[in-house]
Structure 1
């Protein structure tokens, strides 16, 4: 009985040690962020293309610092193709800015 407890404890500690850094990573992946942006924007626009920078950058807005992914979308309308650039927060996946270029 004691052996089972000790071996279970050892396995639990090893798993916690190995998975700890992975579980602490609280950032949204660039792929997931792009998917969320496309889902939000597709309610209003027909998206024909998209891209996102894989490396986050830090910006300052209203005296607050954000770590963001920068990306872009192409939309198709009756008038032609329009280009948009966006910033999305790496922690929450929230779309912070969407501007026509």
Structure 2
């Protein structure tokens, strides 16, 4: 009876280790970095002029809206047009880095 339990425990441990490795590799492969998402936003803003500063939260957070439950990055960009400073915040999809929304803060 001790041989059956040791075989079971060994199989269960190997299965758990394999599942953990697969889960870690899938999560790494399916998300872009926060820096890449920020670069997408900065590149879009640079087409209209210089940027004074930018930031991005490094840890994705969940956005829950009607019919949507996505992991997103939040960040911001600031620039000066003439004598006026403008500040914007953005939301980017953590899987693709695509800009989902940009809005001016006051």
TM-score normalized with structure 2 length: 0.70
Structure with a larger share of its residues in helix? 2
Distance 2:49 2:76 in 1: 13
Q: Provide the aligned length of Structure 1 versus Structure 2.
A: 84
Segments of structure 2 that go 5 or more residues without pairing to the other structure are: 1-17
Runs of 4+ deviating beyond 6 Å: none
TM-score normalized with structure 1 length: 0.73
1:24, distance to aligned residue in structure 2 (A): 5.0
SS in structure 1 of the partner of residue 43 of structure 2: helix
2:45 aligns with: 41
2:57 aligns with: 53
Return the index of the structure with the highest Cα Rg: 2
Q: 1:68 to 1:77 in 2, by over 3 A?
A: same
1:39, distance to aligned residue in structure 2 (A): 0.6
2:77 aligned with 1:70: no
Q: Tell me how large the CA RMSD over aligned residues is.
A: 1.9
Match of 2:89 among 85, 96, 99: 85
Distance 2:48 2:60 in 1: 26
